[in-house]
A and B are shown apart, each in its own frame.
Chain A
Amino acid sequence: MDYEILRLIWWALLGILLIGFAVMDGFDLGTAALLPFVGKTDIERRVIINTVGPVWEGNQVWFILGGGAIFAAWPTLYAASFSGFYLAMFLVLATLILRPAGFKFRSKVDDLRWRAFWDWALFAGGVVPALVFGVAFGNLFQGVPFGFDSDLRFHSQITLTLLLNPFALVVGLVSLSMIVLHGAAWLNYKTEDAVQARARAIMPYAAASFVVLFAIAGVWLSYLDGFHIVGAMAHDGPSNPMLKSVTTATGQWMKSEAIPAVVLAMGGAVLAFLLRRRPLLAFLSSALVPVGTIATAGLALFPFLLPSSSDPGASLTVWDASSSKLTLEIMLGAVVIFLPIIIAYTGFVYRVMRGPVRARDLDRHSY
């Protein structure tokens, strides 16, 4: 297969894996973010935790796989983004490692302080990653200061205070409201009575926040400098990001190809709100929000993956940050074989665990 086509496929697969993460792990991150507020009593919190209990581990593999696939298919992006965003990444990892222990350990001790501690740990493990990933995306649109030396050694001047700029924080809140909406829609679907009522009551606010913040971010973006490649660039050339030139100009990110994705994101949020009394449909609608949001970001940035504000020519693009042709081929083969199998057994698991979680159903196998 053509190197250019392979790179395009892997750009799409990068999006699909991020969407898989945001849709599948998104609702359990959102559920955890809502845990202390939607669950008033211990039994309610156990109900909430057990709605995701059997599936969150599988969901989290979308995150792990995302990391592995970026490593394999976009090694330059893997090296640059994770070392460049070092402290942000540390925050994400530190809060995510609390989650397995939080889910597993929380209900194993009959002590209110113990349980409250893990409830807030789970809360942090939901809110912090959602916020930080949004902030990271917000920074992609502005570019971050980095470059390469002649050995292609990546060096950056990115600091945490630089990342926490107003536009990035708005995008962080876009991400957080998206995750909260998705979590509320999940609880609305998987619980009954008081918990369901509280989750449902949150949905209008979450949907409205998302739509408003997404619109603000979009308008703001039209005033920001976007990046574009100057002159012709080989799409099947070596993965060396130092061989092109790039300029910036206001409004470059406002690409018409992204419009359907924008409609999908905002439409999904509105539908989730309108259909909140039809819980399954509302949940499926809220799943469209991450699809549309990530597609919007990917299409607007295309062909850029990680723009550099200090040395625009060193920006990582789809055409110069990938693995070799052979590795992309091998990895594509692995995805084509295994992704359908994963989807099949994941579907089986959701079918086995279907139906609402009620307090009276909790037993000794539950969390």
Chain B
Amino acid sequence: MDLVTLSRLQFAVTALYHFLFVPLTLGLSVLLGIMETVYVMTGREIWRQMVQFWGILFGINFAMGVATGITMEFQFGTNWAYYSHYVGDVFGAPLAIEGLMAFFLEATFVGMFFFAWNRLSKVQHLMATWLLAIGTNLSALWILIANGWMQYPVGARFNAETMRMEVSDFMAVLFNPVAQAKFVHTVSAGYVTGSVFVLAISAWYLLNGRHAEFAKRSMTVAASFGMASALSVVVLGDESGYTAGQNQKMKIAAIEAMWQTEPAPASFTIFGLPDQKGRVTHMEVKVPWMLGLVATRSADTPVPGISELVGIAQKDIADGLIAYRGLMMLKEDRSDAAARKAVDDHAEHLGYALLLKNIRPDIENATPDEIVRAADSTIPNVPVLFWSFRIMVGLGLWFIVLFVLSFWLSAKRQLDRWRPYLWAAFLTLPLPWIAAELGWIVAEYGRQPWVIVGVLPTALGVSSIAAANVGMSLVGFALFYTGLLAADLYLLRKYIKLGPDAALAYAPRTEEAA
């Protein structure tokens, strides 16, 4: 495999692994805060037991989130050096602020959460738990501001003197609508994950006739928090679709396998077999109007199809080539005013011209045919996006059904009556992870061929290092992560099987071990 493929594969593997642990941390931290608040308000022991038991599982998962997160902070530099140079001026800031504002808070108070039960007052400990939850969620905010900028790079411009993108309007980066929508969607998905985790394990206890009081209380919290979150994932997932409709038309067209622009309002394809080569979708089943209404929030704005967008990309490439030729002249003579003006006036589409680098190195001599090929390369992998998106949405709808049912049963105090319900709740356990990983595949695989949409093609972002080194680190990380994941699952299973009473009585037996 070549350097670019290996680097992308390593990023995908390490990021998808990291996101096995992040959503549970996001959701459980808030659930712990809610449970401990009830404990402090009512003073009832069982709520403290709930905080501490779910806390043990939280801690095992948290360690894995931290372990896999370390790699993420440095991987841009190790494997995406040109990316780091090209956009570090913009992209680095939210990552650094994440450390300053969020991760420090989270990591400091996670220590208090576990070790300070006997050293802090009840209210102080509750504060520590909430600061942990706030830190965790703020952390997601800054990471998604960084990620949102990759999808919709606002508030920055190209500087020919430094050959990179530089911040021109930090507020625009901060209040990027794509980032805001992603943040709400992602943390809600995390809350759903945490709620399903609590709900499913509690259901398993009830199925086995264990810890009924503990399990039913836990399910009640998970049901109401989960219902609110599951609704907001879909409603605010819709919000993601809306902003994608404005800014990432190609991604939404690919998700819909919409090859041609349809008359407004466009229909939504529920089922179909997209054919990337022939640019048609076979066996389509469509719901009229739905896509147009969701994506444009109006009945008369058309949603552009893939072919129309490719046509626009061809024009953008030609425009970007003007900036690129100016840049070539500036390299010869830094004081060439006409060249500088050409760069400044056309820099907006410079990234489109750079797409030609995948076809030939001397892109200033590109033929019209090559421009067409470069424009065609802006189409992401349609079948993968089409199906990932539909499975994710299907799972999201199932979570709503499950939580509404749970909420209704908990209100009627009949959570332990219906074994089919308990089985359904238990078997849902792995599904939020599948939905979350598919969500990232839609977002990031759907961003291709760009690493920064419209600014930098992915293939140009890599480090100039030997492919063999990346192959080695990829195998190394995959083995390390898989080993750690096995240990993580082993411990989670062990403590879940012990159950709250035994798990909380359990102290490491050092005498026997020694």
Q: Show the binding face of A for B, using Cβ within 8 Å.
A: 41-43, 46, 53-58, 60-61, 63-65, 67-73, 75-76, 78-83, 86-87, 89-90, 93-94, 96-101, 103-105, 107-112, 115, 150-156, 238-240, 323-324, 326-327, 330-331, 334-335, 338-339, 342, 345-346, 349, 352-353, 362-367
19 A-B contacts, Cβ less than 8 Å apart? A43-B510, A57-B66, A57-B111, A61-B107, A64-B73, A70-B77, A75-B85, A79-B84, A94-B477, A104-B60, A109-B494, A238-B161, A323-B88, A326-B170, A327-B166, A331-B93, A349-B108, A349-B111, A367-B508
| Tally of chain B residues near chain A (CB < 8 A) | 86
Knowing A100-B67, A104-B63, A363-B507 are in contact, say whether A71-B92 is a contact too (CB < 8 A): yes
Contacts of B476 in A (CB 8 A): 90, 94
Cα separation A41 to B161 with both chains bound (whole Å): 61
Dominant SS at the A interface?
Answer: helix
Mask, B78-98, CB within 8 Å of A = 1, is 110110110011111101111
A105→B60 contact, CB < 8 A: yes
Q: How far is the CB of B95 from chain A (nearest CB, A)?
A: 4
Is the Cβ of A240 less than 8 Å from the Cβ of B162?
yes
* Contact with B469, one of A55, A57, A86 (Cβ below 8 angstroms): A86
Instruction: Tell me, in angstroms, the Cα distance from A298 to B486 when the chains sit together.
Output: 42
B511 located at the interface, meaning its Cβ lies under 8 Å from any Cβ of chain A in the complex? yes
| Known contacts A71-B95, A110-B512, A151 near B487 by CB under 8 Å | no
Q: What is the bound-complex CA distance between A326 and B107, given in angstroms?
A: 29
Tell me, in angstroms, the Cα distance from A65 to B505 when the chains sit together. 37
Cα–Cα distance between A60 and B73 once the two chains are bound (Å): 13
The segment out of B37-45, B115-123, B286-294, B311-319 that lies at the interface is B115-123
Binary per-residue interface labels of chain B (472-513) against chain A in the complex, 1 for a CB within 8 Å, 0 otherwise: 110011001000100110010011000000001111111111
**Complex: how many Å from CA A351 to CA B223?**
39
Question: CB within 8 A of A110: which of B67, B69, B508?
Answer: B508
Residue B71 is within 8 A (CB to CB) of chain A in the complex = yes
Contact assessment for B107 and A93 in the assembled complex, using a CB-CB cutoff below 8 Å = no
Of B96, B480, B506, which is within 8 A of A68 by CB?
B96
Q: Are A72 and B60 in contact (CB under 8 A)?
A: no
Interface of B is mostly: helix
Q: How far is the CA of A326 from the CA of B171 in the complex (A)?
A: 12
Whether A353 contacts B115 in the complex (CB less than 8 A), given A83-B463, A338-B100, comes out as: yes
B88's nearest neighbour on chain A, judged by CB, is A75
- Contact yes or no, B84 A61, CB < 8 A: no
| C-alpha gap A28/B88 in the complex (Å) | 31
Chain B residue at minimal CB-CB distance from A326: B167
- Is A352 touching B514 in the complex (CB atoms < 8 A)? no
- Which residue of A has the minimal Cβ distance to B131? A345
B120: A residues at CB distance < 8 A: 352
B261 at the interface (CB under 8 A from A): no
**When A93-B71, A366-B115 are in contact, do A75 and B100 touch as well, CB less than 8 Å?**
no
**A89 to B73 Cα, complex, angstroms:** 12
Beyond A68-B99, A110-B509, A327-B89, list 4 extra A-B contacts (CB 8 Å). Answer: A65-B104, A70-B77, A104-B60, A330-B170
Asked if B389 lies at the interface with its beta carbon under 8 angstroms from chain A, I say no
Q: Which 8 A-B pairs have the closest CB atoms?
A: A75-B88, A82-B77, A72-B92, A71-B92, A65-B99, A68-B96, A83-B463, A104-B63
B: residues with CB less than 8 A from A are 59-60, 62-64, 66-71, 73-74, 76-79, 81-82, 84-85, 88-93, 95-101, 103-105, 107-112, 114-120, 159, 161-164, 166-168, 170, 331, 463-465, 469, 472-473, 476-477, 480, 484, 487-488, 491, 494-495, 504-514
Select from chain B the residue with minimum beta-carbon distance to A364: B507
A65 touches B84 (CB 8 A): no
Chain A contacts for B117, CB-based, 8 A = 365
Pairwise interchain contact A68-B116, C-beta atoms closer than 8 A? no
Is the beta-carbon distance between B159 and A105 smaller than 8 angstroms?
A: no
Tell me whether A75 and B92 are in contact (CB under 8 A). yes
CB distance from A277 to the nearest CB of B (A): 28
Query: Please, which residue of chain A has its CB at the minimum distance from the CB of B82?
Result: A153
Select one of B85, B463, B472, B484 contacting A76, CB under 8 A. Answer: B85
B residues in contact with A64, CB < 8 Å? 69-70, 73, 99, 103
* B85:A54 contact, CB within 8 angstroms: no
User: Which of A57, A70, A89, A238 counts the most chain B CB atoms within 10 A?
Assistant: A57
Can you name the residue of chain A whose Cβ is closest to the Cβ of B165?
A: A324
Identify the closest chain A residue to B60 (Cβ): A104
**Bound Cα distance A342, B131 (Å):** 13
